[in-house]
Structure 1
Amino acid sequence: MTGRPPVPVIIDCDTGVDDALALLFAARHPGLDLRAVTCVAGNTHVDQVVRNTLTVLEQAGAPEIPVGRGAERPLIEPPRDAHHVHGRDGMGDLGLPAPVRRPAGVDAVTLLRREILASDRPVTLVPTAPLTNIALLLRTHPEVTANIERIVFMGGAVATGNATAVAEFNVWHDPEAAAVLLTAGVPVTMYGLDVFERVLVPPPDVRRLRESAEPGARLAGRLLSHRGPATGEHDPRGGLGDAGAVCSVADPAGLTTHRLPVEVNLAPGPARGQTVVDRRPRPGEAELHGEMREQRLVDVALDIDADRYVRLYLTTVEAAGPRGRRAPQDARR
């Protein structure tokens, strides 16, 4: 540790398997101060997301972090879940117990505004889900941008999509919300599929986590062992997925980004939800003929030190217990 104070972080998630891995890491890394978690429909319906989130925080032994229920559906599109990947309950159908904890008494947007404005230092937002809550926050309470350090979102792709040939699930689920995020006027990092799929935990480490006597580490192992059609029944490795985005906040040096123009395709058709990333070294014919488009500069993740983040994740989650950084009187809500 460098002696620097922990980074104030808020995670906005649709807690499925890899969102849960991200929460376990955020609750335990000493360089992160997890101030709140907000929930949105995505991998599963929002009430199940809230339940999953509370259960994970309990299993992690996290302090009483406020959890807010957010949007039930995208701004325009109908809700479309990912049960085929994450199971009926969004958590690999592991049969986890119902949480004892209860969500905060305010909605996600209200909770986001309150925690951002109350922070004594600028907050880093880490959305690992469709961006509906974030878009509603930015449009309803634009004053929060003055106390947002950066938004590091898991979403988008430079190359190949997963929801469609070109669109990644979180952006495809609510393209308009993603477009709002890119015009927020705060620094944005896009942790997309180009790096998302590369951080894989080796089989011996997955087995060791599964056999741990410590509940949080054991849950991480069970989640990493989940096998849906996206991973394959015979693939023994476990993908960190969304957790890699949180690792990049704790250890930015493991992520290589390039500042590039990005826009979201909002038109109907097969390219809807695509993050169009302009990697050209010079203007093309469209620009030369005066057909200029408004594009936002985003720090796009193009390379990652996967082994570094795997080591960081394992070291953090296998620590003796969570780092409770908030004093009891601050565990409000």
Structure 2
Amino acid sequence: MGKGGSISEGIIKKIILSYTYVAIWIFLSFTVIVYNKYILDKKMYNWPYPISLTLIHMGFCSSIAFLLIRVLKLVEPVSMSRGLYLSSVVPIGALYSLSLWFSNSAYIYLSVSFIQMLKALMPVAVYSIGILFKKDQYNSETMGNMIAISIGVGIAAYGEAKFDSWGVILQLGAVAFEATRLVMIQILLTSKGINLNPITSLYYVAPCCMVFLLVPWIIVEYPILKETTSLHFDYVIFGTNSFCAFALNLAVFLLVGKTSALTMNVAGVVKDWLLIGFSWTVIKDTVTPINLFGYGLAFLGVGYYNHAKLKALKAKESQKKAHPNDEESGKLLDEREGEVKKADSEA
């Protein structure tokens, strides 16, 4: 009984911890999205400078990562040659800077709820770009699933009360750049056996993002900031906002590392519905029945896609267990880990 009781206690403890990780991630992700909207929206804090905000985030994250790795030595840096950095990290940093710039810009023009609906296209973008770069194989059933998701998002866009073409272009651009970045991570880093945790990732990528963002910032936003005296830095607002963005990176690693990518996918759906409800009830954004119907259809498509991926992972795991001495078993495990990381990114 004692043994059985200890097992039960262990299971209960694991469940409680899993829900705690999920709650932390949802809270931080929710907070960062709403906080960014608050800062950038002209009807709220009225500081519509997305490049500047992204630069602040990257500067803060770079500083903390440098402190943890080089000064306090709490995290081990990854061994990386100059050539590997230039050929792999720099392209990923460029794509990341564009993704963040475009996604933050979209908050100026679109509601939080509609942005979350458009983000449902991420699996479509990742799968399509994966096929283009030959990281995924074309499958008619999966493509049908992608078309269903796209139709759902299209219906949601049709029903959007405050549709803004430029905002939609920015958000779709952000999705495309982010999807390309995720595929490039698989091609340029993971395939070479390099895995970056959130701290080392920020240490290498964030400074690169800052360099790429400086050029458009000097051309587009710096002259306006200088003329409108908006260069005044609110340390409380931008400090807490940057800290939340940094903490979110850690929460992602904690959630996926301690539970699974599938858990994060499910938590992502819960977060999206919470954001839509918050946008509707608190921010007072208009959410139409057509919006909800379209997103509901896209949500079912994304859910089915995640279910299919889970089945594929289980099949690979079963095959590995059935042939423990097979020389290919190591490869199957590596493929499984790659699929998990990709599923995490698509959440």
Using the size of structure 2 for normalisation, the TM-score is 0.29
The structure where helix makes up a greater share of residues is: 2
The structure where strand makes up a greater share of residues is: 1
Using the size of structure 1 for normalisation, the TM-score is 0.30
